[in-house]
Amino acid sequence: MKKIATLLLTLSTAIVYAQHDAKKGFKFAENQTDVLLKATAEAKSKATKPNLVTPRTLDSQGNLVLIPSRDWVSGFFSGELWYLYEYTHNKKWQEAAKDFTAKIEPEQNNGDSHDVGFKIYTSVGNAYRLTNDAHYKAIIITAAKTLSTRFNPAVGCIKSWDGRKEWPFPVIIDNMMNLELMFAATRLSGDSSFYKIAVTHANTTLKNHFRPDYSSYHVIDYDPAMGEVRHRQTHQGYADESAWARGQAWGLYGFTMCYRETHDKKYLVQAEHIAQFILNNPTLPADKVPYWDFNAPGIPNEPRDASAAAIMASALYELCTYSGTNSKLYRATADKIVNSLTNNYTAKAGESQGFILLHSTGHKPAKSEIDVPISYADYYYLEALTRQERLAKGEHVIKP
């Protein structure tokens, strides 16, 4: 009896804390997003190019950077609007989400890179999840067909980028994220070809992208005819043999999601190995927001990457529901990350053109987007807050 009472007390305390975090985080996010919507409308009205449709980041002067739908980041802002709608049920966010999603929809036919998965699943994927509208369902299936055209059976992977002479067939760890679109398309269409491609890609990545300590390279370049590995590199990280923080986050999220979709234990084992690499890394700071690369030479005087932290938190909330012995650790770490981001990484109210989180690092070796707000950090932060609260209520982390 006493044990049950203690358990109930622990559960209700968890719900109260999570609801408090989510309430605080979403309230702030709503206010900031009002600012960002206004700033976006203003920037659009002044833009010389009509195809700039959605916000990405701030430039070095603090001006809002708008991007066209073809940019890999274009789906995240509409995804944030869908998360605001999911939490608040406020139709205002639904209307804005529909508007911004519509601007990304043409990307369903853009097979120029693997990013069709990122763009369509964060925007249209959330739209379909929350509305069940057949219009969105059709787009998900078309986008998966587009992504399938980049699959090479000799390699066993979807090709990430085109037009880089030095890499005939580059596959980046980020590409694991695009598999979610493929699994969804098989569920929605009954066509198993998308599922088969996703599983083959995940298996090839599992075989070739990881080091013995379960950190991952960023880019594996394959021979497109024979399927053999040509090079292993870390393009956006400090060095080829270093562990680029966001890459580790993509891998963690990707293999956790693959386990959800397939129930194949090897993906869960891989996700847990990646989690252990991250959590046991001696350079992971006490607030659990990583430096931009786990091997960055100047740690602790290196920029953090709040985006990597947000992706990790969201992934760990899901992973903790599948893991046995480490479940509590993963959930506590995700809570710590969310708490750190909410209390120490947010913009000042009404500032930074309405972005939510500061201190992300986009591409440090290219000297691009260092210590900035960026929309994919905000997207995964809102996703993590949503998952935290659903978990506390005993619901699956993703609303079906």
Active site residues: 115, 174
**What token pair was written down for 151?**
């699959």
96 vs 309, which CB is nearer to ligand GLY?
Answer: 309
Q: What is the DSSP string of 119-141?
A: HHIIIIIHHHHHH--HHHHHHHH
CB 237, min distance to ligand GLY, A: 10
Nearer of residues 236 and 248 to ligand GLY, judged by Cβ? 236
Residues of the shown chain interacting with ligand GLY in the complex, contacts defined by CB under 6 A: 72, 174, 236, 246, 362
Q: What is the DSSP letter of 161?
A: -
Backbone dihedral angles phi then psi of residue 170, each to the nearest 5 degrees: -80, 140
How far apart, in whole angstroms, are the C-alpha atoms of residue 120 and residue 75? 6
Number of H helices, E strands in the chain: 13, 9
Q: Is 242 left (phi over 0), alpha (psi -120 to 50) or beta?
A: beta
Q: Closest CB to ligand GLY among 123 and 186?
A: 123
**Residue 321 is encoded by which pair of tokens?**
């529901």
Q: If DSSP codes are grouped into helix, strand and coil, which group holds residue 326? A: coil
Question: Rounded to the nearest whole angstrom, what is the least distance from the CB of residue 355 to ligand GLY in the complex?
Answer: 17
What is the smallest separation between the CB atom of 222 and ligand GLY, expressed in angstroms? 18
Beta strands in 150-289 (DSSP E): 151-152, 157-158, 170-172, 219-222, 229-233
- CB nearer to ligand GLY: give 373 or 390: 373
Which residue's entry shows tokens 């386990």?
Answer: 259
* Closer residue to ligand GLY (CB): 354 or 362: 362
CA of 282: how far to CAs of 128, 260, 309, 331, in Å? 41, 29, 16, 20
| Smallest distance, ligand GLY to C-beta of residue 252, A | 13
Q: How far is the CB of 172 from ligand GLY (least distance, A)?
A: 7
Tokens of 48: 């010389």
Report the residue number whose CB is nearest to ligand GLY: 174
Burial 316-334 (b: 16+ CB within 10 A, else e): bbbbbebbeebeeebbebb
Contact yes or no for 290/308 (Cβ under 8 A):
yes
Round to whole Å and give the CA distance between 167 and 155: 14
- Closest CB to ligand GLY among residues 245, 338: 245
Q: At closest approach, how far in Å is the CB of 362 from ligand GLY?
A: 6
Distance CA 65, CA 362 (A): 14
Q: Closest distance between ligand GLY and the C-beta of residue 72, in Å?
A: 6
User: Closest distance between ligand GLY and the C-beta of residue 119, in Å?
Assistant: 11
* Closer residue to ligand GLY (CB): 18 or 58: 58
Indicate the SS3 state at residue 11: helix
Tell me the residue type at 283: T
Rounded to whole angstroms, how far apart are CA atoms 194 and 185?
A: 7
Measured from the CB atom, the residue of 174 and 302 that comes closer to ligand GLY is 174
Structure tokens belonging to residue 198: 């996703």
Residues 188, 128: Cα–Cα separation, whole Å: 11
